[in-house]
Structure 1
Amino acid sequence: MPTNTRFDALCIGNAICDVFSHVEEDFLRAEELAKGSMRLIDTDEAVRLFGKMGQTVRISGGSAGNTAAGIASLGGAPAFFGKVAEDELGDSYAHDMRGTGVHYETARLKNDLPTARSMILITPDGERTMNTYLGACIKFGPEDVDPDVVAAAAVTYMEGYLWDPEEAKKAFLKSADIAHSHGHRVAITLSDSFCVDRYRSEFIGLLKDGVVDLMFANEHELKALYQTADLDTAISAARESGALTALTLGENGAMAISREETVQVAAEKVDNVVDLTGAGDLFASGVLFGLARNYDLKSAAELGCLCASNVISHVGARPERPLKQAAEQGGFEI
């Protein structure tokens, strides 16, 4: 970690409690849900859908929150910005984040919307379909940005899902300005192809204007960003963007793409894929930790793949055992 930083990464995103349930393909068809997608729902739909779910498991989540938890599990020092309410779920979320070793001090929302929750339906192939009620998340804004925390982070990282609320955009841009003023990197994950479709021109603008130095995406999101069905064309466009692109390719591993070099690494072998939730989030954990600790691109991408392989072998988007232990066993110096 650079000598002028205290955190490997500051992760900014929706503070969401994840509610998991295993379902059959027929359930998705009956509910007319697009497999593998993420949709936003209102309070009434959240109550209705929850009533149709079977046995559930509740875990504190949210994309950037998962990434922060993964960095902590590696033995790193992460921070997190995200809004929860002064309610039971908010208490649980804050306790979980701090308990994993994440610096989390965002002010709670009082007498307003409840803490967000995402109902995640897992089909037998491990794919997840998310139904998200944002609640208190949409109240995150510039006033929640602690400049001292941003200044102390080697990388400031934001999830694309948070680009929906206008005040959250302002908060991210404020954070990016602070980070760059201290010579630190700014990163974004595209989050979802549907998110890309909503904000394609804005995301491309962030890259073009140098607001974002590092972009995380999977192949579907990268194709959507550059409006092409050809992966090689999308990779070429990413290379020309000027930003470093960390690209996940599922069972084919991952790539790190810059103007100067492109490296590809293999996926870690996983005997039993249980739940793909959080694979991209934990890949980001490994890459962000690696870059903050001055790993080369290949090593950072390999660590990202190791973290992703760890989380897809069980239900939930956070590690069940310390990633630091898994990384050391994999030959990484943590």
Structure 2
Amino acid sequence: MTVRVGFIGTGGIATSHLLNLASIEDAEVVALCDIAPNRVEEAREYVNRNILTRSEAEGVEPRLIEAATYTDYRQMIRNERLDAVYICLPPFAHGDPEHAALDANLHMLVEKPVALDLRVANDILRRINEQGVIATAGYQLRYMGFIDKAIELLRNTVIGQTIVLRFTRTPGTSWYHRQDRSGGMMIEMATHQVDLLRFLVGEIRKVYAAAATRINNLDNPEYDIFDVNSSTFTFDNGAVCSFAINFLTGPSGLPDLRGVHIFCKDYILSMDISLKVRRGDDVEEFGLEHDPMLEEDKAFIEAVKTSNPAILRSDYLSAVRTLAVTIANDRSARSGMPVDVNELLRAEAPQAAW
């Protein structure tokens, strides 16, 4: 079976998925949709140019993207014989496209965050559960080559504390600096590290955050997202986390400090683009081994082809729980009070409560 794929949204992250799908034999991209027609063509030209370069270097026949193009995703879904869609949209645009895909019983890979509103995500999750479609989210860090080693080590020890550090600059996308469009740095960007914590350490029960807009609004009065954030998380298993992120550095973001650090009874795990396991003065390092986003795309196509969602490392339910942690963080920062994540889910996304 060849999995026939359509894209809703062809911005930056979509081009990475398109390049990956061109190398997956069982995938065929048959349609591309974006409200900006020039963006569809720019994406196709960029991807095909890179496919040609890669094929020439590898000495293989190129599989170029020769898909139909649309500006209306509903028309694309009506006209094309699709098995699955990639929904690669800004945070504020989620909701209606997912429901249109579900109306056609299409499987979905939804880029993170899956919504800005837990109620929107809850309605989508309810339909996914009722219809039994395969739905995953774009949390590619779960597919890093060393993650299985980290899981193995964490299974056999006691976790005391985690520390997460991420420092970078505000992305240049026009909608990013607006709270009602991106959700801010925890909801849109640090969601990856929050999700990785949930995957490795366990469910996050309580969030207590302090955040502010300190610098980036000085030259841009429309900048209304936080640019500094410090949070404390408490896990169901009793472990605690200190989480710091800001938008005050260049793109390299202090590489010597950034990453997820997990302090255990017998060792310390530190991970960013590699995993370092520290036992006293001894350090053992494990590399990425492969492109995690490519592995994510391979898993999604295989899951659709074989009707086996169990091979996926992130389902839509888990993505909603990650969203809840980041929304809890934002609400705690604004209220000055801790927020219980499961109570928030029970109130606004009961399909994802535990």
Using the size of structure 1 for normalisation, the TM-score is 0.39
Using the size of structure 2 for normalisation, the TM-score is 0.37
